[in-house]
Structure 1
Amino acid sequence: MKTAILNQQEIQYKIRRIAFQIYESNLNEPQIILAGIKNKGYTFAEKIKTCLEEISDIKIKLVSLKLDKKNPLNGIEASIAVSEYKNESVIIVDDVLNSGSTLIYAVNFFLDQPVKKIQTAVLVDRSHKKYPIKADFVGLSLSTSLSETVKVNFDKPYTAYLME
């Protein structure tokens, strides 16, 4: 069974609201790094970047983070050099926060760098965490059963579904 939880208009509204929250939280930063977790997290980060560029003068550097979600201990690859993170504010972006393992490993990756601050943004937070991590910027908080999954589609029209 598939139940729609967000339509295109709602997703666009959530993107805009998250962009404003990121801007407000980083008003004094000349530049921020949006680190999107491949694939859908990166797509979500691209959409946030577009909106941030419309509403602010902050320079936005978009970074792709590649990791094996089933085996995150295999390491993380970033699309820019480590030296480019130095003393920067980083926002790690993913589409859905499930158990928290993807975000916690991504946060850990940046903890090894001399960054100014780390924040997280997700479109949907499912509230089933195995790890002590929360998203700083959330589009929708949703209580689900462990057997349910959330799928986000960023192809037009954007949609998010709860699937059993």
Structure 2
Amino acid sequence: MSEVLNHKQVGQKLTRMAFEIYERNVNSTGVVFAGITGMGATLAKLLADELKRISPISIEELEVILDKSDVSKSEVELSKNLDLTNKNIILVDDVLNTGRTLVYAMKPFLELEIQKMEIAVLVNRSHGLFPLRPDYTGFELSTTFNEHIRVDVAGSQHSVQLH
């Protein structure tokens, strides 16, 4: 197992992503960070906190709850019942592998009158099976399907590891 990003580097990536989000959403009526269950929700909180630190944009957070081990059979729910009308939704996950989880995580938003939806991931592995690309990426990493990425941002020592 080798460390790809250390604590300081993960922090720098998140700060850069927050500035990019601010630049693209400066005139929005509000941004909602929708973090996918697990590390996606944790990253959404970190990005929201960073954006709150650098901008006056109205920011809300919620979790997209689903079973990552079997997304095709999983119920997909939102942790909060927020008014998302004309809001910019930023769907957040830790690693973009094939895109399957992100596609299923979009389901609750399909019938809502949102302004737009964007995708933010800390690591993009570029193994896309679905035609989606992240709008905000912390790190691009070419890997084989046999390699695994482990993102740990829950504690005080953030890291991204390849094994």
Q: Distance in 2 between matches of 1:77 and 1:56?
A: 29
Q: Which residue of 2 aligns with 1:112?
A: 111
CA-based RMSD: 1.1
2:29 and 2:86 in contact (8 A); partners too: no
- C-alpha distance after superposition, 1:9-52 (max 9, x if no partner): 00000000000011111010131100001110011011111110
Larger strand fraction of residues: 1
Task: List structure 1 segments (4+ residues) > 2 angstroms apart after TM superposition.
Answer: none
Structure 1 segments unaligned to the other structure (5+ residues):
none
Give the aligned partner of residue 3 of structure 1.
2
Aligned partner of 1:131 in structure 2 is 130
Question: Identity over the aligned pairs, expressed in percent?
Answer: 37
Partner AA of 1:86 in structure 2: T
TM-score of the pair, normalised by structure 1: 0.94
Deviation (angstroms), 1:132:
1.1
User: TM-score, normalising length from structure 2?
Assistant: 0.95
Partner Cα distance (1:109, 1:139) in 2: 25
Q: Conserved in 1, the CA contact under 8 Å of 2:76 and 2:107?
A: no
The count of aligned residue pairs is 161
Q: Which residue of 2 aligns with 1:151?
A: 150
- In the TM superposition, residue 90 of structure 1 has moved relative to its aligned partner by 0.2
* Displacement of 1:133: 1.1
**Which sits farther off after the overlay, 12-21 or 125-134?**
125-134
Residue in 2 that maps onto 1:161: 161
Q: Distance in 2 between the 1:7 and 1:30 partners?
A: 35
